Chain A
Amino acid sequence: MKKVRVLIAKPGLDGHDRGAKVVARALRDRGFEVIYTGLHQTPEQIATSAVQEGVDAVGLSILSGSHGTLVPRVIEQLRALGAGDIPVFVGGIIPADDIPQLREAGVLEVFTPGTPTSQIADTILEAVGGK
């Protein structure tokens, strides 16, 4: 079976990446190759990393409340590089009211606290399976 490659990135200024690491580890245990880029990434860094790494999907972890600006910028940057077909997922503390807006910006799925990691893996697998 083809390996699934995923970039897990933390855009913006929040300095807490336990959630991102838990998800990275869980995806690894499902057989994914997870590229983790660390804290404080700009949307430009995330998009170019995704393209250079040839990933099937991008997962953004945001706890700072700045998802409304950062997430659309990551998607814009991916499109600018010709990689608008790479599905983008968001995880973190996202108020329910903001989710429709993120979906409209092109986010495939939003995972809020308490989502089982197996569900995250299943959702990503389903999204990239048809590629």
Chain B
Amino acid sequence: MSHYNPLIERALEGNMLALGRLARIIDDGEDGAGEIIRSIYRRAGRAHVVGITGPPGAGKSTLVNGLVRRCRKEGRKVAVLAVDPTSPYSGGAVLGDRIRMQEHATDPGVFIRSLATRGHMGGLSRSAMPLTILLDAVGHDLIFLETVGVGQEEVEVKDLAHTKVFVTVPGLGDGIQAMKAGVLEIADILLVNKADLPRADLTVRDLETMVKMAEGDRGWTPPVLTSVASEDVGLAEVMSSLTDHYRFLLDSDFLHAWSLSTAEAAVREAMRGAAEAGIMDLLERERAAFAEDVGKVSLREEDPITVARRWLAKLGLRDD
């Protein structure tokens, strides 16, 4: 039991203010964040989590907006986590994904939260995982996770989303790009957005070739779809593919495997977070001694590996 219980109870009753404030505590990684997750974790596990990823400007936010509109017509409660990059210089960010989604701003069945990466690599923020748990626990049927505009290697969304949609646009690369490993590989649905642009058919063909060449038993062949999200063209097909993929997971052993890998990622992340906090606390407590050791390393009287091991030993951690 924690003193966050009143806030959690109100959030479970559907209070938007309470949910917004819990999300802030979690995003800031405050001391209470862990307590909140402990209180609500067992309630989560019912939402269909959909990852939307792809390069900057592909139309991810516009797509999410259109998909949210369709979910709402079906009466489903929806949440969106939209991630934008943090400036490596100032630590600040301008989060603009909401601009494309404001038609849903006053709909009580839609909760939208913008997140900054805060230096985290992988296409999401460090808080994306616990926030997904929170939004799931309070009863959203569908959660869209919109990553930052990704290059090729930001694949963290695979640990969080049941269904991953890779959104691209015509003209970004040839067949070789499509053969490379990375974000394309984790996609369950491939979507060529802005399909009214020239050469969209070539992009579709490259992706289809890639899908055909892919090996391994995923039990699911990613469809290659086209859309013009700003005009609501092709979104019905995207929506039904999302449902098909979720049904496929529910009806197969893949959901079990996915749940295990997601659970493992959650435990690992919690351990990493706790270990990091332990290290920070220790270095803060023994700041002078640590500065002395750092000085020795800078003068090459000692090497960084030996010093790190000595400090980790104080926490009962070893790396040898």
Q: Which residues of A contact B (CB under 8 A)?
A: 2-3, 5, 24-25, 27-38, 41-42, 44-45, 48-49, 51-54, 81-83
Contacts and interface: CB of A to CB of B under 8 A. Distances in A.
B160 interface: no
Interface SS, A side: mixed
B48 interface: no
Contact of A3 (B21, B28, B99): B28
A15 B152 CA distance: 37
Interface of B: 15-17, 19-21, 23-24, 27-28, 86-87, 89-96, 98-99, 102, 105-106, 111-114, 116, 118
B90 A29 contact: yes
Main secondary structure of the interface of B (DSSP, over half): mixed
B127 to A, nearest CB: 11
Nearest to B18: A82
Contacts of A52: 16, 19-20, 111-113
A45 B16 contact: no
Nearest to B17: A82
B6 to A, nearest CB: 13
Contacts of A35: 95-96, 98, 114
A129 B24 CA distance: 16
Q: Which of B19, B23, B92, B114 is the most central at the interface, judged by chain A CB atoms within 10 Å of its CB?
A: B92
13 contacts: A3-B116, A28-B87, A30-B90, A32-B92, A33-B95, A36-B94, A36-B96, A48-B105, A49-B105, A52-B16, A54-B113, A82-B17, A83-B17
A29 B17 contact: no
